[in-house]
Amino acid sequence: MSASATASNARPGGRPRDGAIDHVVREAARRLLAERGYRALTFETLARETGVPRSMIYRRWPTKTHLANEIAVGGEASFADVIAGGGLEPQMAGLIRQIFARYQVASIAAASVGVIADTQGDRALQAELRGEAEAINRAALRGIVAAGQQAGTIRMDVDGDVLFDMIVGGIVYRTLFSLQPAPSEYVADYTRRIVASIAAPAPPVLSPRQDD
């Protein structure tokens, strides 16, 4: 367990938090977000639906934005290894499908949009809530790019941070903000376009030498 996770599970006096209560509140919050949206997420409603006093909820999450952010970024699966076997395109498709599927989850989508709205203009709060998760994921994708460059599958001029913006930014906009539903072939088409922009050119095929 990380140091931050350990700290979040301890009360100011050092006594560990009751993980069962955390789980009950988070699951109720997920249901509210999925069924009724971000505006319906209040500590009063959570207390009524779970039987957990509001004071105990506030001790765990100072605002509903903190709770929603935990749902939005928590449980983040690590990026797939797009270098290990299968070729660049199918492995990149796995990565893109993973991110796309995550933001298709109703509770995560509602939480993400709500947190974006609540933290608009507050860079300090944005950094507190999302800074660590973004830094970890950007570093992971930079590592994937570096490994692909070393393996000769990704062009040497590809920048991992720019690729992160291309993949995550595009998917977040399409899943959370666009009024146009994503067609069934969206992930496959998006993958082809991303791969075309980063793939190293195939080595030239040498013709058999012919004697004069």
Q: Is the pLDDT of residue 73 over 80?
A: yes
pTM (2 d.p.)? 0.81
| Mean pLDDT computed over 37-66 | 96
**Cβ atoms within 10 Å of 31's Cβ, excluding its own:** 16
Q: Token digits for 82?
A: 């797009």
- Residue with token string 């789980």: 23
Following CA atoms 46, 52, 55, 58 in sequence, which dihedral angle do they give, to the nearest 10 degrees? -50
CATH number of 15-61: 1.10.10
Q: What percentage of residues in the chain have a pLDDT greater than 70?
A: 83
**Positive or negative torsion for Cα 136, 141, 147, 150:** negative
- Range with the poorest average pLDDT among 13-22, 39-48, 92-101: 13-22
What tens digit of pLDDT does each residue of 132-165 get? 999 999 999 999 899 899 989 999 999 999 999 9
Residue with more model confidence, 76 or 45: 45
Q: Token digits for 55?
A: 């004071």
Burial 38-64 (b: 16+ CB within 10 A, else e): beebebeebbeebebeeebbeebbeeb
Instruction: Look at residue 105 in the predicted model and tell me its pLDDT.
Output: 96
Instruction: Look at residue 150 in the predicted model and tell me its pLDDT.
Output: 92
- Range with the poorest average pLDDT among 49-53, 78-82, 162-166: 78-82
Instruction: Look at residue 83 in the predicted model and tell me its pLDDT.
Output: 52
Instruction: Look at residue 74 in the predicted model and tell me its pLDDT.
Output: 78
**Cβ atoms within 10 Å of 158's Cβ, excluding its own:** 16
Q: 87 pLDDT band (50/70/90 cuts)?
A: confident
Residue with more model confidence, 101 or 7: 101
- Residues 6 or more apart whose Cβ sits within 8 Å of residue 137: 76, 79, 164, 168
Residue with more model confidence, 79 or 191: 191
Chain region(s) in the chain for CATH 1.10.10: 15-61
Instruction: Look at residue 3 in the predicted model and tell me its pLDDT.
Output: 33
CATH 1.10.357.10 at 78-198, yes or no:
yes
Q: Is the pLDDT of residue 108 over 90?
A: yes
Rounded to 5°, the CA angle 76-95-79 comes to 40
Q: Token digits for 123?
A: 């860079």
Measured CA to CA, the distance from residue 189 to residue 177 in angstroms comes to 19
Q: Is the pLDDT of residue 21 over 50?
A: yes
Q: 204 pLDDT band (50/70/90 cuts)?
A: confident
